[in-house]
Structure 1
Amino acid sequence: MVPVEPLLSMIYLMVLFGSALVSALLILILKPLLVRYALARPNARSSHKIPTPQGGGIAVIGACLLVTGAALLTGNALPASFTVVIVATLMLALVGAVDDIRPLPAIPRLLLQIAAVTAVVVASDMRVLPESVPLAVEQALLVVGGVWFVNLVNFMDGLDWITVAEMVPVTAFIAPLYFVAVASLPKEANVSEVMFVAASLCGALLGFAPFNKPVARLFLGDVGSLPIGLLVGWMLLQLAGTGALAAALLLPLYYLMDATITLLRRLRRGEKVWEAHRSHFYQKATDNGFSALGVSAHVFGLNLVLAGLAAMTLIWPSGAVQVAALGAGVVLVGLVLRRFSTPRPKIPLEVSR
């Protein structure tokens, strides 16, 4: 009999590569339709210069759910709680698809997001805060945080390769970190759902990456960014529920800080925060002389370091290490945000004599 750990690792890799292949094939099949019906035309707030098809998220989410479902169904029936996650993900994908074609009003869109996140939080029945906090209060806070996370993932998907640079490291590291965190618990837990979703979403994004590399020939669209936010938020909630709250905060810390600081600044200026804008640090970076590839490279490298800090909080789970790792993460993200906000010096062209 093959030991559990090597068997899970083998299945993990099969799921990852299978999802990448399915995602790329779906994109090749769907792209002619997306070019015809889902063309994103540049405007004053866009980072692209020419009309570009969006909707690649259909392939990413489709591949993720198909491969995850197939992997889980080889064992037993899908757990009821995970079925809720699938339904909520599909609902947000539908909301995003409609919004990509004909923008929805802010209030109905927000209400549908709240419904999807609430269903996932309640079905997960996960405790993150101390037991002294009433369950209803904790779940309300988790819903607010989950809705914000879904939206910030959507807000941050505004530059070629940035979602790949952010979410590939996050999803790649969630599975091993969750496996380590669960192993330290006094009771056994089923790790297959989180591991397979992480592997399949990571693979699906890798399959999408060649089409989104600068200069992008395809965008995710809201049909991809909204459900990706929900799925990653659910996985981070599962990780935090094992007691690894610091790790769950460190993995997406760049997105959390960029989007949250930007939101607070816009609120202070009295802007309509639900409207599109170019105030994010990654957007300022391109205005300040960074290329899209340069921004994504910074984000990718930063996320590898944040994942290393997250791993440290599990290897040495003392309070001092948790605080130190979080502090170091905040400082590192702050340095990158400052770098993005600083104009790069222009290199003077040589004048020929």
Structure 2
Amino acid sequence: MIYWWLIPAVAGASLILTAVLRRYALARSIVDIPNSRSSHSIPTPRGGGVAIVLAFLLVLPVLAWAQLVPTAALIAIGGAGALVAVIGFMDDHGHIAARWRLLGHFCAAVWALFWLGGLPAITLFGVSLDLGWLGYVLAALYLVWMLNLYNFMDGIDGIASVEAMSACLGACLLYWLSGFESQIWAPLILAMAVGGFLFWNFPPARIFMGDAGSGFLGMVLGVVSIQSAWTSPQLLWVWLILLGVFVVDATFTLIRRLIRGDKVYEAHRSHAYQFASRKYRKHLPVTLAVGVINIGWLWPIAFCVTYFGLDGALGLIIAYIPLIILAVKFHAGEIEKNQTLGS
């Protein structure tokens, strides 16, 4: 209990750092100017996600010293997250070619998997599968997809922050209820770092997260999910369920654009959440809806997996079916009526 002071300390540090970064971005004209691909209409400073990165990374030595999180896991999370954040920060301030960004992302994934020991055996419909070296490959692809999908989904005010906070706090509650208290600290500290930033990012946002923050969140959440699976295989399914809104929308949109032959690395606004924000002409209802879905639908299913022994893969299918229906309903991956292919 002696270390619970870290919770308000991290949230407060993130809150103050975001304010400082906002002033810095305004002074240096690091501002997102609305264009045809944007989901906002007012020029807004960006790069505030660096506050999340700093507030989280600076407390990792404390977690290691107090032995609240295994040292190898902290090295995996901190090293991979920091590398992704640096790449994102450089891209926010200039431009890095997509191929070099991708190479950096895979380097971060390999670093994390080296320290974690790869992907543990996973349980699929009651069958334990040890994938060996194939597990390393699949885990690397998973981590790179997680950080990129988080970048794709950070397109309206507050949505990436609400997703991270609800998933992390939901996981912490599940850990506590299911006897995995040792796993609580990493997601709890991450949630607090995001919470301080959310004060400034809540609709209408006064600063955007930027690639440094969104990529960092995606990578850290991915690493934490794999690390938790070493404690219990069912926990990987729990994280995939809790992050279902982002996973389904981003993956469904990507597949649809690939089938159509789009250049998937080009900016667009054809995710379901972007169509929804234009339909309702506000970001707030969509951002709040994501929180409600996470708490009211996805968390109870994840609870059934950890507490009642529901098969994780079956729980994932149950959780994702309504999300896929929503993706179809809100035209995920379709071309806007006022656009043409490649415009």
TM range (shorter): 0.7 to 0.9
- Distance change in 2, residues 1:206/1:105 (3 Å): same
Q: Does 1:235 align with 2:240?
A: no
CA distance, structure 1, for counterparts of residue 161 and residue 78 of structure 2: 22
Kindly provide the CA deviation profile for residues 48-76 of structure 1, in whole angstroms up to 9, marking residues without a partner as x: 21221111111111111223432432458
TM-score of the two chains, using structure 1 as the length reference: 0.85
Structure 1 residue 117: deviation in Å?
Answer: 0.8
Q: Which residue identity lines up with residue 154 of structure 2 in the other structure?
A: D
C-alpha distance after superposition, 1:146-183 (max 9, x if no partner):
11111000110010010122111111122333455665
Between the aligned partners of 1:134 and 1:256, the Cα distance in structure 2 is 22
Contact 1:263 1:273 (8 Å CA) reproduced: yes
Q: CA deviation at 1:77?
A: 10
Following superposition, the deviation at residue 87 of structure 1 comes to 1.9
Give the structure 1 partner of residue 155 of structure 2: 158
- Whole-angstrom CA distance in 2 between matches of 1:23 and 1:139: 33
Q: Equivalent residue for 2:335?
A: none
Deviates more, 1:126-135 or 1:45-54: 126-135
Counterpart of 2:136, as a letter, is Q
In the other structure, the counterpart of 2:26 is 35
In structure 1, give the amino acid aligned to 2:326: V
Q: How far did 1:339 drift?
A: 4.8
1:158 aligned counterpart, secondary structure:
coil
Determine the structure 2 residue equivalent to 1:196. Answer: 185
Identical residues among aligned pairs (%): 30
Within-5 A mapping of 1:1-353? 7=1, 11-12=3-4, 14-37=5-28, 38-75=30-67, 79-125=71-117, 126-129=119-122, 133-179=130-176, 183=180, 191=182, 194-241=183-230, 242-244=232-234, 245-304=236-295, 305-319=297-311, 322=312, 324-341=314-331
Structure number with bigger Rg? 1
Q: 1:269: how far off? A: 1.0
Give the SS at the match of 1:146. helix
The alpha-carbon deviation at position 108 of structure 1 amounts to 0.4
1:289 deviation in Å? 2.5
Give the CA deviation at 1:340.
3.5
Structure 1 unaligned regions, length at least 5:
1-6, 184-189, 343-353
Write out per-residue CA displacement over residues 70-126 of structure 1, whole angstroms, 9 at most, x where no aligned residue.
243245897244223212211111100010011210100000000001110121114
Measure, in 1, the Cα distance between the counterparts of 2:139 and 2:77: 15
How far off its partner does 1:129 sit? 2.9
Cα offset for 1:338?
A: 4.4
One-letter code of the match for 2:115?
Answer: A
Q: C-alpha displacement at 1:132, in angstroms?
A: 5.4
Describe the shift of the 1:226–1:95 C-alpha distance in structure 2 as closer, same or farther (beyond 3 A).
Answer: same
Contact 2:52 2:197 in 1 (8 A): yes
Q: How large is the RMSD of aligned CA atoms in angstroms?
A: 2.3
> What is the rounded CA distance, in whole Å, between the counterparts of 1:332 and 1:15 in structure 2?
37
Report the TM-score, using the length of structure 2 for normalisation: 0.87
Aligned residue identity for 1:32: R
Once residues 326 and 66 of structure 1 are traced to their aligned partners in structure 2, the CA distance between those partners, rounded to angstroms, is 34
How far is the alpha carbon of 1:329 from its aligned partner? 0.9
Q: CA deviation at 1:239?
A: 2.6
Q: Contact 1:68/1:200 (CA < 8 Å) preserved in 2?
A: no
Query: Residues 216-256 of structure 1, C-alpha deviation per residue, up to 9 Å, x if partnerless?
Result: 11001011011111111111112333121331221111111
How many pairs does the alignment contain? Answer: 323
